[in-house]
Structure 1
Amino acid sequence: MNVSKPLLNIKKIEKTRINQVDFNNLAFGKNYSDHMMYCDYVDGEWQTPQIVPYGPMEYAPSAKVFHYGQAVFEGMKAFKDDNGEVHLFRPEQNFERINKSSKRLAIPEFPKDFFFESLETLLQLDTDWIKAGQGNSLYIRPFVIATEEGVAASPSDQYRFMIITCPAQAYYSQPVKVIFAQEYSRSADGGVGYAKAAGNYGAQFYPTNLAKEKGYQQVIWTDAKSHNYLEEAGTMNIFFRIGDKLLTAPTNDRILDGVSRKSVIQLAKDNGIEIEIAPVEVKRIVEAARKGELKEIFGTGTAATIAKVIGFEHDGVYRDLPEVESPYSDFMKKSLQDIQYNRAEDKHGWLHKVS
């Protein structure tokens, strides 16, 4: 008789660490919740997921993730509403995207029932780490790495899928200044730009550091061929407002299909805001700024939600953006967060209640 494997094995903490955390002064990604999940891929199949106390793990120096970068991740958030109920925001999108990213890096896709059962159990165990109130959330980091020992240049045959969580507040608490990329590129045609591959972000750090030395917090990346088209920021998709019209680049194999991005697009349509999804020329944005027609630039992302841009540099010239009445960025941020905290009607079924 075939006996199915239990969906989860759980080992709970002996003592919580929550009292060691100052929830009023959280540095993003520095404090981790009590439990984590891991699940190994061995002998051609994913094993039983394990939920254990958060802590270090040991890997061989020859694990392939260290040598060939087979690693992808996701970013999600859980929110607690005023009734103490916990909700995820569009988690199906994140599940589908991590498997899309995995496939691009020759990593086996993760089972849907393993993902959601593990995630919901983790959130139930660590529900006290999810604080109610504006701006509070639990950031969720699913990721998968290659764990097979061996330095041969080939895909791993062993992997570990993990989920860790950390309490979070605003990623960008202040508006940011950006520089338009003219030398370095984030991704190229046929590459892995659309995937949340770890190496995409590692490769950004050096040019972003150069931007920071000049007083900018982020780079808005341009296409690798010509640097004539604006595509996305370091950790965010990007929107531009010229007059009353919103502009954003279409997704392709260079641009991440952001969950917040597609949510903002839908909110614009819901509220009669004209939106143009088409390649965004640098010269169009620079000219609009010169004429005073560029009203706003803002980034969207899970960690940031909405991040305002107050100025940009291109060709060595810095341009401030105007202060506008009733900015779209404020409207979009409030609209998104009202849904995420279950304060507004969820017309599109974006919330997933954790029961």
Structure 2
Amino acid sequence: MSPAYPLASLSSSNLFFSPLPPNHEPPAGKANHGRYMLTIPWSAASGHELAFDPLSGVLQYAVTCFEGMKCYKTDQGDLRLFRPEKNFDRFKRSAARLGLPNKWDNAELVDLLCKLLALEAPLVPTGDGSNLYIRPTLLETSEGYGIKETAFASEALLYVVTTLNLGKGLYASSEAPGKGIRLDACRDYIRAWPGGTGSYKLGANYGTVSVAKKPGFAMSLWLHSHDGEDYLSEAGAMNVWIIKQAADGYLEFITMGLDNGIVLPGITRESLIELLNDHASGKSSVPLPGLPTKLRVVERDISMSEIVTSIEDGSLKGMFGCGTGVVVVQIGEIQYQDKIHKIPHNPLIQILRDTVTGIQRGKIEHPWSHKVPEWDGSGAEKDREEDNVLA
């Protein structure tokens, strides 16, 4: 899906920023947020003018999408991103689903993001589980009231904000028996359905996450039903996996497929699939010590009845979620139909987590780890309104 009009090009060379005064103090309650915001207003008519209408599509019809990314600081003090082009490819896909501009140059957007992160470098924490969380957001600012003749927004705003340590509280949940998170298998709310927008990272998909979560549980395990069965979708905002011993002796790592459009194509999910397949084939340059080579990755539907039966017969060997926020997290219990089902602890889950975070933090050198160039804003300090703004 592409707009019927050309998009103004995105160019990191147009960047300017307003330096903070030396006596800057963050507002009350915002000490954990980044000091700068990258803003990129866009207009079909003039390229980059912004007029925020009270009838704008974002306010009236939730025409907005976003991405979740993280910046890590290595032991040597440099900053790393994890596969940022993958995030921006998915960002484009979500934008196209909403009729928002989606033809930017990913390399230019990565360059702009890196300049924002370079300015925030002093805030980026070190240590396992620590991170600077990044939220690129795109929204329609033109009038979106009623059914329009064209499906495409004529004005939009892309901005990027940051905050500290999203997901850190769940980081240790893969480490020891009894530390896995608790999920409530939710039958009262439905996150997504075939043919809907569940496979896109739209703001409207996440508004019910907190409302649906029951006290005492980390998040909801979303279900969708057909033919009398409850099938897994996602958990909170995570992709979900089970580890199961197959009858032929293989250890299966099973996650829901993407064909029905219910599950978000997660970057961590895709990375785990690649790592596991490479390990099983013997071609991997990234070691997964302790994992058997006799394993297979399976993408298919997973029902709650299969989980319950597999617990009872002993074939279920573990269960975990993955995503940008949590990276990889062990699932310890599921409440389903008012009964608690305990999931076996599996130390292989921590191996997967430590491998992914090792790449993210530069402990394992890998093409997926994108080094952020140093930049101090030299030559970009301006007071006038321009194309791309750090302020």
- TM-score category (smaller protein): 0.7 to 0.9
Q: TM-score w.r.t. structure 2 length?
A: 0.77
Selected match of 1:128 from 107, 112, 122: 122
- Segments of structure 2 that go 5 or more residues without pairing to the other structure are 1-9, 174-179, 246-250, 280-292, 374-391
Please state whether the residue corresponding to 1:188 is helix, strand or coil. Answer: coil
Closer, same or farther: CA 107–318 of 1 in aligned 2, 3 Å: same
CA contact (8 A) 2:183 2:331 kept: yes
Q: Which position in structure 1 is the counterpart of 2:205?
A: 200
Q: Which position in structure 2 is the counterpart of 1:330?
A: 350
1:78 paired to 2:71: yes
Cα shift at 1:59: 4.7
Q: Which position in structure 2 is the counterpart of 1:182?
A: 187
Closer, same or farther: CA 204–137 of 1 in aligned 2, 3 Å: closer
CA contact (8 A) 1:18 1:33 kept: no
Cα shift at 1:132: 2.3
Which gives a bigger RCO, structure 1 or 2 (Cα 8 Å, sep 6+)? 2
Count the aligned residue pairs.
Answer: 330
Closer, same or farther: CA 190–171 of 1 in aligned 2, 3 Å: farther
Which moves more between the two structures, 94-103 or 258-267?
258-267
- Segments of structure 1 that go 5 or more residues without pairing to the other structure are 22-26, 49-56
Selected match of 1:344 from 360, 364, 387: 364
Closer, same or farther: CA 102–16 of 1 in aligned 2, 3 Å: farther
Please state whether the residue corresponding to 2:325 is helix, strand or coil. Answer: coil
Closer, same or farther: CA 58–105 of 1 in aligned 2, 3 Å: closer
Cα shift at 1:47: 2.9
CA distance in 1, matches of 2:77, 2:21: 24
Selected match of 1:168 from 157, 165, 177: 165
1:35 paired to 2:36: yes
CA distance in 2, matches of 1:205, 1:342: 33
Cα shift at 1:45: 6.4
Please state whether the residue corresponding to 2:157 is helix, strand or coil. Answer: strand
CA distance in 2, matches of 1:18, 1:277: 49
CA contact (8 A) 2:52 2:142 kept: no
Closer, same or farther: CA 339–276 of 1 in aligned 2, 3 Å: same
Cα shift at 1:179: 2.2
Which moves more between the two structures, 170-179 or 311-320?
170-179
**Amino acid corresponding to residue 101 of structure 1 in structure 2:** S
Selected match of 1:262 from 256, 270, 273: 270
Q: Which position in structure 2 is the counterpart of 1:231?
A: 233
Closer, same or farther: CA 167–13 of 1 in aligned 2, 3 Å: same
CA distance in 2, matches of 1:315, 1:106: 40
- For 1:1-355, list aligned pairs within 5 A: 6-15=13-22, 31-44=32-45, 46-47=47-48, 59-112=52-105, 113-149=107-143, 151-154=145-148, 155=151, 156-168=153-165, 170-173=168-171, 174=173, 175-208=180-213, 212-213=214-215, 215-226=216-227, 227-243=229-245, 244-252=251-259, 253-271=261-279, 272=293, 273-324=295-346, 327-346=347-366, 349-355=367-373
CA distance in 1, matches of 2:35, 2:142: 27
Cα shift at 1:42: 0.9
Which moves more between the two structures, 129-138 or 115-124?
129-138
Cα shift at 1:106: 0.8
Please state whether the residue corresponding to 2:33 is helix, strand or coil. Answer: coil
Cα shift at 1:352: 1.1
**Amino acid corresponding to residue 218 of structure 2 in structure 1:** Q
Closer, same or farther: CA 140–340 of 1 in aligned 2, 3 Å: same
Closer, same or farther: CA 18–301 of 1 in aligned 2, 3 Å: farther
Cα shift at 1:44: 4.6
Q: TM-score w.r.t. structure 1 length?
A: 0.85
Cα shift at 1:235: 0.9
CA distance in 2, matches of 1:17, 1:134: 29
Deviations 1:51-76 (A, max 9, x none): xxxxxx99543332111110000000
CA distance in 2, matches of 1:98, 1:267: 23
Cα shift at 1:18: 7.6
Please state whether the residue corresponding to 1:216 is helix, strand or coil. Answer: coil
**Amino acid corresponding to residue 120 of structure 1 in structure 2:** C
Cα shift at 1:30: 7.2
Closer, same or farther: CA 287–102 of 1 in aligned 2, 3 Å: same
Closer, same or farther: CA 130–110 of 1 in aligned 2, 3 Å: farther
Please state whether the residue corresponding to 2:14 is helix, strand or coil. Answer: coil
Cα shift at 1:204: 3.4
CA distance in 2, matches of 1:161, 1:184: 30
CA contact (8 A) 2:61 2:144 kept: no
Identity %: 26
